[in-house]
């Protein structure tokens, strides 16, 4: 595997992203040190490459990417994975508002808590939050799967059109157009396959206790 290390400490956002795109074309893996919460890291990247970010990222990390696998050993700001079409974004810490906003495909994983409007206007793909998620989680959701292992606050699934929201913890309130359905054995099997694949260890009782939120038919 060909690796390349980028020290982002003295780079501005444009220089960093230009370097990422140049080196991604020639390497299997890029390691980004000292990201210092810069915004727009990996924006628009379309190479099939592994990216390891050692530290926290700012707003719009992984925005509009197609194919890269991005792993952040830290936190992320607002709109992580925004409009991803294919690929993977794993955040070991927390994320701000709008994680997974508008994704068409791929997977966004936040191991800790996320802010408000998680998965808003997502059209496909999967968003997983290992902790809690804020208000209007799943706002205007159009497709895909949104999985929350912690609690969610007000107006979950506000104006949801399609797609499914699964919540293991407490749901404070549902938004307009949202309804709760009984989880099926097929749902449980699919959740188990997805979550165990990313190292989440839940019991069979946990899978049976997921709440399933969909569009009100």
Pairing of strands 178-181, 211-215: antiparallel
**Strand-by-strand arrangement of the 107-110 sheet:** 3-7, 29-33, 50-54, 66-72, 86-91, 107-110, 126-129, 142-148, 162-167, 211-215, 178-181
Tokens of 213: 């939120």
- Cβ-contact 113, 91 below 8 angstroms: no
Integer angstrom CA distances of residue 35 from 46, 53, 98, 108: 20, 7, 21, 19
Which class is 37-215 in CATH?
A: mainly beta
Measured CA to CA, the distance from residue 37 to residue 42 in angstroms comes to 13
Enter the DSSP assignment of 183.
Answer: P
Q: Each residue's pLDDT tens digit in the chain (217 positions)?
A: 899 999 999 999 999 999 999 999 999 999 999 999 999 999 999 999 999 999 999 999 999 999 999 999 999 999 999 999 999 999 999 999 999 999 999 999 999 999 999 999 999 999 999 999 999 999 999 999 999 999 999 999 999 999 999 999 999 999 999 999 999 999 999 999 999 999 999 999 999 999 999 999 8
In angstroms, how far is the first alpha carbon of the chain from the final one?
A: 50
- Looking at residue 217, what is its pLDDT? 80
- Looking at residue 1, what is its pLDDT? 81
Long-range contacts of 151-156 (CB under 8 A, 24+ apart): 153/116, 156/213
């Amino acid at each position: 595997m060909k690796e390349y290390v980028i020290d982002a400490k003295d780079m501005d956002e444009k220089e960093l992203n230009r370097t990422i795109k140049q080196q991604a074309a020639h390497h299997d893996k890029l390691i980004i040190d000292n990201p210092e919460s810069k915004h727009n890291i990996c924006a628009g990247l379309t190479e099939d490459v592994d990216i390891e970010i050692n530290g926290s990222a700012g707003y719009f990390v992984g925005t509009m990417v197609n194919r890269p696998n991005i792993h952040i050993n830290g936190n992320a700001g607002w709109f992580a994975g925004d409009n991803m079409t294919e690929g993977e974004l794993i955040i070991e810490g927390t994320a701000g508002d709008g994680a997974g906003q508008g994704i068409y495909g791929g997977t966004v994983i936040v191991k800790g808590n996320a802010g408000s409007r998680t998965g808003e206007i997502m059209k496909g793909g999967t968003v997983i939050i290992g902790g809690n998620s804020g208000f209007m989680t799943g706002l205007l959701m159009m497709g895909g799967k949104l999985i929350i292992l912690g609690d969610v606050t007000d107006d979950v699934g506000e104006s949801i059109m399609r797609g499914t929201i699964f919540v293991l913890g407490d749901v404070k309130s549902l938004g307009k157009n949202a309804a709760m359905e009984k989880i099926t054995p097929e749902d449980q099997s699919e959740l188990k396959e997805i979550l165990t694949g990313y190292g989440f260890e839940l019991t069979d009782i946990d899978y049976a206790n997921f709440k399933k939120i969909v569009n009100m038919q």
